[in-house]
C-alpha cells in the first residue's frame, strides 16, 4: 500500500509540475486566448453571413436551371460554415504564435477539435442515406476524434501494419478504411450528380427515348468514373479488374446471355425509339398495355385493369410489336351493326353516318367516318361503320361503345328495326295424333 501511495503521489506531483509550468508560460495563455477569440469571431461571422448566404443561394422553387442546382448544392454545406471558419482562423493564429513564441501545441489542438466538429456536422447534417451515415459514424467520426487527440500517426501505423490475408491477395486495415471512406464520399457525390443530371435532362426538349438513353449513359459514366477513382485510391491494380472483367464476360456468354441480350435490346429500343414510355403496344404473344417504365432488362406494361406485365426487352426486337401510339398517329376502328330486311338500305348511310360524325372524338375533317355494306346475314343486312380517332380505344372499347350508342339511337329515331335471331320451324306431316295445335 505504501508503494502504491508513493507511486500515486509521484504521478500527482508530476502532473502538478506540468500544469504549473503550463500556467506560468505566457505562450500557452496567448494560444488559449487566440483559440477562444477565433471561435468567438467565427460565431459572430457565421451569425451575420448565414442568413444572407441562405437568402442569396436559395433559388426560386420553380427554377431548375443548372445555376440553381449548383446553388442548392452549396446550401447543403452550410452546417460546415462555423467549424471550418473557426478552423481557418485558428490556423492563422497558430502561424502567429509559432512565429512569435516558437510553439503552438495548444492552438493546434483546438484546430484539430474544430476539424472534428466539421466532420461530425458533415455526418449528422449532410448524410441522409442510412448506409452512408453508418459508415460516417463508425469510420469518419472515430478517425477525426483520434486525429484531434493527436494519436492519428501511431494508430495509422498500427492499421497499416495489420495485414489481412485473402487467398493470393492481402490488404491492410488502413487500406480497407481508406477504401470505405473514399467510396462513401465518391458514391455520395456520384449519386447526387446523377440526380442533378437526371433532373436537368428531363427538362430538355427531346424525345422520351432519347431522354432515357441520355440518363442511362450519364449514370453509367458517373458511377464508372467514381468506381475507377475508388479503385485507384484504394491501390487495386487495373490488371486485377481486367481479369475480373474477363471472368464476367465468360459468365455473361454462358449463364447470363439472356440478361445481356435484354440489356442490348433495351439500348437499341432507346436509340431507335420504336417504343417508349407512354406508348400503347400490343406484342405478338397477346400482351397489351401502356409502357409505364423501361429498365435495362425489361419494359413494364400497365393494362387497362391496372395489372403490370414485365416484358423482356428482347421481345420488342425479335417479335412483332404493334404500337398504337407511335408518333401520335391516328387509329381506325370499326363497329358492325345490322338492320332488318324490310329497311331501305339506301337510307342507312344518311341516318347513321351523321350520328357517328357528330361525336367529338371522331376525326371528321381529314378522315371522315365511312359506312360500308358488309353482307346479307341470316337475320338482317350487315353494315360496318369505320371511324378514325386520335388515340387508342381504351377503357376497353370506349370509342366503340359511344359509336354503338349513337348508331342505335339514330336508327331507333328513324324507325329502323335492328333485327334479332328468328327461326321458323316447319313440322312435316302435321302434328302427331293426340297433340292439338
Note the pLDDT tens digit of each residue in 188-231.
677 777 777 777 777 766 666 666 667 777 777 777 777 777 77
Number of folded domains in the chain? 3
Please identify, among 108, 125, 150, the residue that sits at the C-terminal boundary of a domain: 150
Whether 135 shows a pLDDT value over 90: the answer reads no
Q: Which residue has the cell 489542438?
A: 109
Task: Report pLDDT for 235.
Answer: 61
Query: Are 284 and 387 in the same domain?
Result: no
Query: Are 68 and 103 in the same domain?
Result: yes
- Cα 392 to chain centroid distance, Å, stands at 29
Average pLDDT over residues 20-48: 75
Task: Report pLDDT for 409.
Answer: 92
Beta bridge partners of 111: none
Evaluate whether residue 357 is within a structural domain: yes
Q: How far is 410 from 25, CA to CA, in rounded Å?
A: 109
**136 close to 184: Cβ distance less than 8 angstroms:** yes
Q: How far is 80 from 398, CA to CA, in rounded Å?
A: 59
Query: Are 50 and 127 in the same domain?
Result: yes
Nearest to 338 by CA among 222, 416, 426: 416
Task: Report pLDDT for 393.
Answer: 64
Q: Residue 298 is part of a domain; what is its CATH number?
A: 2.30.30.60
Q: Is 418 exposed, middle or buried (0-12, 13-18, 19+ CB in 10 A)?
A: middle
Q: What is the CA radius of gyration of the chain?
A: 40
Evaluate whether residue 97 is within a structural domain: yes
Evaluate whether residue 61 is within a structural domain: yes
Query: Are 295 and 397 in the same domain?
Result: no
Q: Residue 393 is part of a domain; what is its CATH number?
A: 3.30.70.100
Whether 251 shows a pLDDT value over 60: the answer reads no
Its domain, for residue 12, covers: 2-150
- Dihedral sign, CA of 43, 45, 51, 56? negative
Q: How far is 250 from 259, CA to CA, in rounded Å?
A: 13
Query: Are 109 and 39 in the same domain?
Result: yes
Query: Are 358 and 280 in the same domain?
Result: no
Evaluate whether residue 343 is within a structural domain: yes
Q: How far is 393 from 83, CA to CA, in rounded Å?
A: 63
Evaluate whether residue 424 is within a structural domain: no
Evaluate whether residue 194 is within a structural domain: no
Evaluate whether residue 208 is within a structural domain: no
Nearest to 183 by CA among 126, 120, 236: 236
DSSP-derived 3-state class of residue 62: coil
DSSP-derived 3-state class of residue 289: strand
Whether 247 shows a pLDDT value over 70: the answer reads no
**226 close to 179: Cβ distance less than 8 angstroms:** no
- Cα 142 to chain centroid distance, Å, stands at 32
Helix (H) or strand (E) holding 332: strand 331-339
**44 close to 85: Cβ distance less than 8 angstroms:** no
Please identify, among 299, 326, 353, the residue that sits at the C-terminal boundary of a domain: 326
Query: Are 306 and 340 in the same domain?
Result: no
Evaluate whether residue 260 is within a structural domain: no
Query: Are 46 and 86 in the same domain?
Result: yes
pLDDT band at residue 104 using 50, 70 and 90 as cut-offs: low
Query: Are 33 and 104 in the same domain?
Result: yes
pLDDT in tens, 375-421: 888 888 999 999 888 777 664 567 888 899 999 999 999 888 888 77
Query: Are 6 and 34 in the same domain?
Result: yes
Helix axes 173-202 and 66-76, enclosed angle (nearest 10): 140
Please identify, among 309, 326, 343, the residue that sits at the C-terminal boundary of a domain: 326
Query: Are 288 and 380 in the same domain?
Result: no
Query: Are 339 and 408 in the same domain?
Result: yes
Mean pLDDT rounded to a whole number for the chain: 76
Amino acid at each position: 500500500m505504501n508503494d502504491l501511495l508513493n507511486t500515486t503521489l509521484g504521478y500527482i506531483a508530476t502532473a502538478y509540475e506540468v500544469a504549473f509550468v503550463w500556467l506560468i508560460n505566457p505562450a500557452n495563455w496567448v494560444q488559449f486566448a487566440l483559440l477562444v477569440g477565433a471561435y468567438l469571431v467565427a460565431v459572430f461571422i457565421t451569425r451575420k453571413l448565414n442568413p444572407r448566404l441562405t437568402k442569396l443561394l436559395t433559388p426560386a422553387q420553380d427554377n431548375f436551371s443548372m445555376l440553381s442546382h449548383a446553388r442548392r448544392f452549396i446550401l447543403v454545406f452550410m452546417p460546415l460554415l462555423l467549424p471550418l471558419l473557426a478552423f481557418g482562423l485558428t490556423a492563422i493564429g497558430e502561424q502567429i504564435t509559432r512565429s512569435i513564441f516558437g510553439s503552438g501545441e495548444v492552438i493546434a489542438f483546438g484546430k484539430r477539435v474544430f476539424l472534428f466538429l466539421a466532420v461530425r456536422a458533415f455526418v449528422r447534417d449532410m448524410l441522409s442515406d442510412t448506409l452512408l451515415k453508418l459508415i460516417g459514424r463508425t469510420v469518419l467520426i472515430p478517425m477525426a476524434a483520434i486525429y484531434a487527440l493527436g494519436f492519428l500517426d501511431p494508430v495509422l501505423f498500427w492499421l497499416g501494419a495489420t495485414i489481412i490475408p485473402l487467398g493470393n491477395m492481402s490488404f491492410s486495415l488502413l487500406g480497407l478504411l481508406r477504401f470505405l471512406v473514399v467510396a462513401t464520399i465518391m458514391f455520395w457525390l456520384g449519386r447526387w450528380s446523377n440526380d442533378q443530371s437526371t433532373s436537368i435532362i428531363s427538362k430538355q426538349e427531346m424525345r422520351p427515348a432519347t431522354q432515357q438513353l441520355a440518363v442511362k449513359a450519364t449514370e453509367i459514366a458517373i458511377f464508372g468514373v467514381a468506381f475507377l477513382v475508388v479503385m485507384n485510391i484504394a491501390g487495386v491494380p487495373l490488371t486485377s479488374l481486367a481479369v475480373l472483367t474477363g471472368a464476367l464476360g465468360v459468365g455473361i456468354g454462358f449463364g447470363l446471355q439472356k440478361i445481356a441480350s435484354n440489356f442490348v435490346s433495351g439500348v437499341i429500343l432507346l436509340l431507335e425509339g420504336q417504343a417508349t414510355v407512354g406508348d400503347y403496344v400490343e406484342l405478338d404473344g397477346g400482351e397489351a398495355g401502356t409502357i409505364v417504365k423501361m429498365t435495362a432488362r425489361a419494359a413494364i406494361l400497365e393494362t387497362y385493369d391496372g395489372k403490370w406485365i414485365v416484358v423482356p426487352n428482347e421481345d420488342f426486337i425479335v417479335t412483332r410489336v404493334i404500337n398504337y401510339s407511335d408518333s401520335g398517329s391516328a387509329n381506325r376502328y370499326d363497329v358492325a351493326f345490322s338492320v332488318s330486311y324490310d329497311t331501305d338500305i339506301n337510307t342507312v348511310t344518311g341516318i347513321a353516318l351523321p350520328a357517328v360524325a357528330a361525336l367529338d372524338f371522331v376525326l371528321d375533317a381529314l378522315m371522315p367516318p365511312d359506312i360500308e355494306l358488309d353482307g346479307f346475314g341470316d337475320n338482317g343486312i350487315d353494315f360496318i361503320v369505320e371511324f378514325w380517332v386520335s388515340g387508342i380505344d381504351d377503357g376497353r372499347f370506349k370509342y366503340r361503345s359511344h359509336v354503338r350508342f349513337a348508331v342505335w339511337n339514330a336508327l331507333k329515331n328513324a324507325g329502323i328495326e335492328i333485327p334479332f335471331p328468328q327461326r321458323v320451324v316447319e313440322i312435316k306431316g302435321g302434328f302427331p295424333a293426340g297433340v292439338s295445335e
